[in-house]
Amino acid sequence: MNYLFNEKKDVELILSYNEEGSKDAEFFVELSRDLKGKIYMNLERTDDEALRRAFFALASKANELKVESLSLELGQLNPKAVFEGLRQSEYFFDHYLSEKKKRYLKEVSFLTDRNEEELKEAFEEVNKVLDGVFLARDLTNYAAIDLYPSTLAEKAKEELEPLGVKVDIYGQDEIEKLGMEAFLAVSYGSDKEPKLIVMTYKNSDKEPLALVGKGLTYDSGGYSIKPAEGMVTMHGDMAGAASVIGAIKAIAAAKLDTHVVGVVAATENLIDGSAYKTGDIIGSMSGKSIEVVNTDAEGRLTLADALYYTSTVIKPRYIIDAATLTGAMVVALGNLSAGAVYNDEDLVKELSKASSKMGESVWAMPSFDEYGEMNKSHFADIKNSGGRLGGGISAGMFLKEFVVDTPWVHVDIAGVSYEDSPRAYYPKGATGYLVKSLYQLVKDE
């Protein structure tokens, strides 16, 4: 879509305001195909999230009615929220469709007496962030037959290297030399080689900060097999990795003055004669032994080695990990908020604040040491599942055991990474959740 400033088009949108306000942030936009000239849209709320939803609804309706151009009076509304709502309407995953979806709305002109250069800068920033969001959605939406560890690694390289990001890809031999036994155990049931992907963006002499993403490109559950209907969307079990890659793309495109390292341990969790089994006791890069009581609790095993590697080799100022880790977090928070387990209260507050600015939500869960006791094993140093009660938290506390002397927040995005039907400006399928929050957290430093 082409965006212009102060170039009047045939259709003009005038905003009217309801001073009484409304609790409802959803807006239903009615456009008549026979209407010429001005369209009036009532905005009962003008907070950022309401604007995102309202202008997404407007652009979506315009596309539905085959409107090709709009002129909008911007007034004193937050331009970033308006731009985002309009741009969100452009996303549609049609990679596998023989007939591609046609976008009719091609041009929007903003009528304003505000500083055009500042507006253009705001528009460019929104574009760069949403490019990262849309990349994360695409990666998560790709079928597992197309996106597996090596192709995920190549896509990260393809997207990030042109922006000045160094992408190192390590195969099985290097992973074995690092002693990542927990990561490797998960990979043994697949004929696809696991990959450790390390992405470095350095535009500052600061010590690095680190983003770690769960990279299960397909999760069958292993011998603790999922029901058939539960496996249909399990190509999306790498949404955490996608969010990290998307966030680094946005950070690099915006040329933020920072130093960020992204780490993804990518593999599949499948079944064959070599696959790991319940009752196995496996090693890890940290030296801790792990009793496997559930092969469907595999993400925390790959993350255990990824987090230990990050905290001891990269040695960042802090770590945020993103993972579709547990169904328990979905039960707790549904599809409206991600849940966080942490070892640093200030860091989780900063992340929550950043997410609120960007229309996302990261909710801090209780992270008492007692939750970690659920993971105690009689036969090994730790077991990979603490049971159903408080399962989203105990899974996070398992990860905490592999973070060495580093402020850390684990974000479980299992409930928010994928929508079964469209909601607000989220399409059916992958949402790209957390890209915006991670970008804002880094920007706010």
Active site residues: 226, 300
> What is the phi/psi pair of residue 183, to 5°?
-60, -45
Give me 275's structure tokens: 């696959």
> What is the phi/psi pair of residue 411, to 5°?
-115, 115
CB atoms within 10 A of CB 328: 21
Measuring CA to CA, which residue among 133, 143, 174, 139 is closest to residue 153?
139
387: left (phi over 0), alpha (psi -120 to 50) or beta: left
Contact 296, 222 (CB under 8 A): yes
Give me 251's structure tokens: 């950070």
Amino acid identity of 186?
A: V
Distance in angstroms (rounded) separating the CA atoms of residues 85 and 77: 12
Q: Which residue has the tokens 């957390």?
A: 434
C-alpha 51, offset from chain centre: 22
CB atoms within 10 A of CB 68: 14
